[in-house]
Structure 1
Amino acid sequence: MTDRISFAPGQVVTVFRSRLRDEAAPEFGELAAEMLEAARSMPGFVDYKVYFADDGERVSVIVFDRLESQRAWAADPRHRAAQQAGRDRFYSEYSLQVSMCVEAWEFPAVG
């Protein structure tokens, strides 16, 4: 993982939009930390960020180096169990978009 804001052609970017149930926060936090640690250990993991909107929506951006790496994470048994827990206990709603980076540009500050 890097501190730079960067994408590269060929990377796979997953955008996960969700809303947590009010009662889910304590248990969710523990499982989310475990899943992030597991994802970071996967070959091809590049980056993860989560953003919070004023209306309660959460947006997670997960980047893997290629489609095969992202699919391996999607099929990981620990991740599959966490996905089911999300449906059963944590999320009031969510949507997921998986995209391939076709082009990427950067603007690094100079000076």
Structure 2
Amino acid sequence: MPTLGQLLKRHRDRHGWTQQEVVDRARLDRSSSYISSIETGKTSPSIDELDALARLFGTTSIELLREVSGITPDWEFEPNSDLQRLVTLYQALDPLDKESALAYLEFLIDRRHRQINAP
């Protein structure tokens, strides 16, 4: 099983990109040496950085981690188009906006529960 760094390097090599191109294309606020550190296992990307790298390589962070861990779920998950749209929109947000979006969803759910339970 490859390490996460080896897997990311394999994806980068398949696209023929330099480490700097990966940084630029994934819009990471990092230097190319950061990608080198990930690929050699000296550091690990944050969750947001892993999501950005996964999107760049046309996959998901879940799929990357599955390949690294060798864990295959015993259930199938088929997201519907609304869920896929929601995930795509959420992934495009910056961290502060992600928090706001989650807070708003929690507000909507709480409001709905109050409406259902109102006398």
Bin the TM-score by the shorter chain: under 0.3
Higher helix proportion, which one?
2
Q: Write 1 or 2 for the structure with the bigger share of strand.
A: 1
- Give the TM-score, by structure 1 length: 0.28
The higher-RCO structure (CA 8 Å, 6+ apart) is 1
Give the TM-score taking structure 2 as reference length. Answer: 0.27
Larger gyration radius, structure 1 or structure 2: 2
